[in-house]
Chain A
Amino acid sequence: MNMNRRQFFRVCSAGLGGSSIALMGFSPNAALAEVRTFKLARATETRNICPYCSVSCGVLIYSTGDKSKNAPAEIIHIEGDPDNPVNRGTLCPKGAGLRDMIQSQNRLKWPEVREAGSSEWKRISWMEAFDRIAKHMKADRDANFVAQNEAGVTVNRWTSTAFLASSAAPNEAGYLTVKTIRALGMTSIDTQARI
């Protein structure tokens, strides 16, 4: 039986006779594809941007749930945003795999530490992580902060702890990062932009 999706549903909606056509195995391919459309129709659509290359393609992220309390969203599908003037709905083989990146087996879920000389990771709390890291930073800063150079010029810098920043972070995270690390006196700073 050769019919398109719309015809198929028109027939089905005509009554029991219609649905029995499907039962008899005459469902067209398009009807099977319809299952996915239905799932997306119930999903929440969020506009975002592919984080890979600097074409920065617009994407539509579909997630289950309606963002109500106790209904955590799960991302079920990502496709190109047709409104975006640059990618106009397209995604490349990199971007087409975005969902698998978000759901990678190698996502980190909690803070960990590898102690000096140890061969393994150990789970720690955020509080312990911030506490220990801040202690390291303060000890290094206090010991190595240079207020004045040899010529007596005020330089107020801390070069012995370095910071490499992400080019995949949003502008707002980048801004807060540069603001805080400069305030700490850091000058050993770089980003992926160079490589």
Chain B
Amino acid sequence: MTNHWVDIKNADLIFVMGGNPAEAHPCGFKWAIEAKKHRKARLVVVDPRFNRTASVADYYAPIRPGSDIAFLGGVINYLLSKDKIHHDYVKAYTNASFLIDEGFAFEDGIFSGYNDEKRSYDKATWKYQLDKDGYAMVDDTLQHPRCAFQLLKAHYSRYTPDVVQKVCGTPKEAFLKVCEYIAETAAPDKTMTNLYALGWTEHSVGSQNIRSMAIIQLLLGNMGMAGGGINALRGHANVQGITDFALYAQNLPGYLAVPSEAEPDLQTFLEKKTPKMLRPGQMNFGQNLPKWYVSLHKAWWGDAANKDNGFAYDFMPKLAGASDVLSIFDQMYQGKVHGFLCQGFNPLASVANKKKVSDALAKLKYMVVMDPLATDTSEFWKPHGEFNEVDPGKIATEVFRLPTTLFAETSGSFTNSGRVIQWRWKAADGPGDAKDDTEIMASLFLKLKEMYAKEGGAYAEPIQKLTWGYRIPNKPSPEELMMEFNGKALADVTDPKDPTKVLVKAGEQLPSFAMLRDDGSTTCGNWIYCGVWSQAGNNSARRDNSDPSGLGQTLNWGFAWPVNRRILYNRASADLAGKPWDPKRTVLKWLGDKWGGNDIPDMRPDAKPEELVMPFIMTGEGVGRLFAVGLMAEGPFPEHYEPFESPLETNPMHPKNPKARANPAARVYKGDMEAFGTAKDFPYVGTTYRLTEHFHYWTKQSKINAIVQPEQFVEIGEELAKEKGIAAGDRVKVRSNRGFIKAVAVVTKRIKALDVDGRKVHTIGIPIHYGFKGATKPGFITNTLTPFVGDANTQTPEYKAFLVNIEKA
């Protein structure tokens, strides 16, 4: 979230698309209801299903799964053609005025630089025109034909209300009504908040769904405002924290770039990855990368990381290429991965195409499951009737299952999706011999370290030299770990302007990442968490919930990253002179000599307004990007592409170009393209969803949740039910080209057939929560049905739009 849960109450319009917070995030959704009650805010929902968020909305519009960009592109076109934008904001705080490279082009669904064979783009033309000093050229009148604003206008002029109706199946009147409500928030003192979750991410164009909304929020001037922003509601209680700590390959903690084989030494790496200033006088905060990166190596390898060895640059493994859950299982399927450690994760249930995942696991030599519960994954080799038909005798994988403690049985911190880090205290011991994840990881690591010391083996230096100053070596405490990732000074940290002034004494915990240095004098395991355990102690354990501003900022409750800031880009909540766009909801203002207000300034505290330091400090140009320079895989502007499995044979935006049918830059593995089905055999759109009473594949293990939602069902509209002769309560079989599941049919008015591009499209809703292990009735795993293809940027699988057929079982 750019904002936070309580801040939703400050919105004038709550726009929910790609999420269903009333059911998936009920206690956070109360703030939407608060806004309705106390601010007379409007709640608008766009979704394929008339879900429970829709049921309390002021307005609901239906949409075909996988057509969100067409809808949002239509909104952009509406705002631009009706001139409903926040002009001063757009001109000053976005790259609307920036001139784009002459070579940049878009033709029949494909941007310049496309390589058909590689299914990827050379992004050389997706950039600004630069002047002789290397700064981007701008046209403040926004009239130049190559400025981002004019290119944006031209790109989205094709997304007319008629086109939206044709592609999305949303009735034109409903679409226009939604546009009207959104457009009202172009007024400087009106804000729209956007709430989304997996309904946007789980598409082959997931990232561009969100980019589309980012463009809209910039045009309306809603970023940085109280009650504004783009708010990813997200998954688990600590999904934000685990993402921040980069438990994935493409980043290091704090979203640091990870070295790859293209950067053989530290200097090359830092030169390449440190962003350049693109407009004069901007903060370009990313220029501090060397301080963050060197401090991370110091935290991990201590004295063994020094100037002479590039701070142990060679100790950090260099990224091999794609490494995400889909690529890992594809590699495993090909026999290239032999071992697999699975910590609190149930991939057999949660990864696409269960058959492929199961076959991949069967090729492993060893698998280690660390979990509090007996998961489906841990028993992939065990026959469970028709729900898991396997022959254990043919599966040679050695499977270890290690019992871990649950949340109530450990202390430590969780970070909510509003970026607030909160400490938790242990209430009881785990059952039997269960151990904490930390003890298991420490014990395994120490065992390996001992074996390498005794026996030798491949490159053991990074293992032997890893810092390990924990009081009980096999049980590092959560307090010790938090202090470590916060970071400390190894030598006195002095003021760069006055070296005689000591800011932090050697040995002290650091108060913020402003104190980090690139000379090896500081440690920090995650720069964005710096400050969470300062000399003042554990700031995540603070429990003062007072709210003097009335905005719900609660600055003394827990600790938000970065530097306890609650609303990102908050400098943009004030005009160029530093006066709040809406004084009633002041987040930040210029006090004459410094920035102040009701949040930690997202700005150099003493940057005078006339210095024109712009609010989006993490970009080299200081402004928000309507045109995304070189970062997105499939283009600087979002374009509608069909889901890989679509009821339409062509992309209605580009009917004559088969290359532009589905995302041209999405990665598809050998065998997976062949496993896609067509509308001839699978005429209906399948879309997965979550229930109020269940959380992923977890609560099926809990008795009370199993009592209230005991059994797998699928939801179909009345019209389809009638066509297929299916009555409510019938057992049905739902098939995709990858397998089938059986479930109970629920026939509702909540999913209606839509008229799309001249044909009727039915959608089948499929809850995900069931499996063969748990307190619920044994059932099929929903992801038996889903395709093994993901978003081109994130590789998040396309769970929200695929093709199925349905019949009575």
Contacts and interface: CB of A to CB of B under 8 A. Distances in A.
A171 B247 CA distance: 10
A97 B699 contact: yes
A92 B406 CA distance: 19
Contact of B234 (A54, A108, A121): A54
B374 A106 contact: yes
B233 A157 contact: no
A170 B261 contact: no
A97 B319 CA distance: 41
A52 B318 contact: no
Interface in A49-94: 49-58, 61, 63, 72-75, 78, 80, 83-88, 90-94
A187 B415 contact: no
Contacts of A53: 24-25, 28, 233-237, 695
Contacts of B761: none
A36 interface: no
A132 B210 CA distance: 45
Interface string A146-157: 010101011111
A111 B402 contact: yes
Given A55-B27, A84-B545, A158-B317, A106 B344 contact: no
A179 B320 contact: no
B425 A46 contact: yes
Contact of A168 (B238, B339, B368): B238
Contacts of A106: 373-374, 701, 773-775
Contact of A193 (B242, B451, B452): B242
A42 interface: no
Q: Is the interface of A mostly helix, strand, loop or mixed?
A: mixed
Contacts of A180: 441-442, 444-445, 466
Given A51-B237, A142-B457, A190-B324, A172 B444 contact: no
B239 interface: yes
Contact of A114 (B399, B455, B525): B399
Contacts of B247: 165, 174, 177-178, 189-191, 193
A159 B339 CA distance: 10
Given A55-B5, A174-B247, A195-B325, A104 B238 contact: no
A108 B248 contact: no
Contact of A156 (B25, B314, B484): B314
Nearest to B394: A117
B174 to A, nearest CB: 29
A162 B328 contact: yes
B2 interface: no
Contacts of B318: 153-157, 187
A52 B441 contact: no
Interface stretch (B38-46, B124-132, B631-639, B793-801): B793-801
A156 B796 CA distance: 28
Contacts of B6: 85-86
Interface stretch (A3-11, A27-35, A133-141): A133-141
A167 B344 CA distance: 8
B342 A164 contact: yes
B412 A170 contact: yes
A105 B398 CA distance: 24
Interface string B133-152: 00000000000000000000
Contacts of B81: none
B435 interface: yes
Interface stretch (B103-111, B475-483, B731-739, B747-755): B475-483
A161 interface: yes
Interface string B568-597: 000000000000000000000000000000
**What interface size band does chain B fall in?**
35 or more
Contacts of B797: 195
Interface in B413-441: 413-418, 420-422, 424-429, 431-438, 441
Contacts of A168: 236-238, 344, 407, 698
Contacts of A105: 703, 775
A193 B202 CA distance: 11
Contacts of B344: 165-169
B26 interface: yes
Nearest to A52: B695
Q: How large is the interface on A (under 10, 10 to 19, 20 to 34, 35 or more residues)?
A: 35 or more
Contacts of A183: 300, 315, 445, 462-463, 466
A97 B345 contact: no
B702 interface: yes
A159 B325 contact: no
A61 B408 contact: yes
Contacts of A87: 27-28, 30
Nearest to B393: A117
B342 A56 contact: no
Given A126-B433, A158-B317, A160-B338, A170 B413 contact: yes
Contacts of B554: 85
Interface stretch (B179-187, B282-290, B329-337): B329-337
Contact of B28 (A55, A130, A163, A171): A55
B27 A90 contact: yes
A133 B448 CA distance: 9
Contact of A111 (B239, B325, B400, B428): B400
Contact of A108 (B300, B325, B434, B692): B434
B238 A171 contact: yes
Contacts of A126: 433, 435, 443
A141 B463 CA distance: 12
A86 B530 CA distance: 23
Given A49-B422, A85-B552, A172-B482, A167 B236 contact: yes
A174 B397 CA distance: 26
Contacts of B705: 93-94, 97, 100-101
Contact of B338 (A55, A135, A140): A140
Interface string B689-725: 0001111001101111100100000000000000000
Nearest to A93: B693
B345 A165 contact: yes
B448 A171 contact: no
A88 B683 CA distance: 46
A95 B545 CA distance: 22
Given A95-B27, A136-B365, A61 B413 contact: no
A118 B264 contact: no
B699 A159 contact: no
A171 B434 contact: no
A141 B435 CA distance: 25
- Residue from the set A102, A163, A189, A195 with the largest chain B CB neighbour count within 10 Å: A195
26 contacts: A46-B426, A48-B426, A50-B237, A52-B698, A53-B233, A56-B237, A56-B417, A86-B418, A102-B408, A112-B401, A116-B398, A118-B392, A130-B443, A136-B339, A137-B444, A156-B462, A159-B336, A164-B345, A165-B242, A174-B242, A175-B525, A176-B442, A177-B247, A182-B317, A189-B323, A193-B242
Which A-B residue pairs are the 4 nearest by beta carbons?
Answer: A166-B344, A109-B432, A170-B412, A161-B339
Interface of A: 44, 46-58, 61, 63, 72-75, 78, 80, 83-88, 90-98, 100-102, 104-119, 121, 126, 129-138, 140-142, 144-145, 147, 149, 151, 153-180, 182-195
Given A104-B701, A149-B261, A170-B411, 17 more contacts: A49-B237, A49-B414, A55-B5, A55-B416, A56-B415, A73-B427, A96-B704, A98-B702, A136-B366, A147-B458, A147-B459, A160-B337, A167-B344, A172-B412, A174-B241, A192-B236, A194-B796
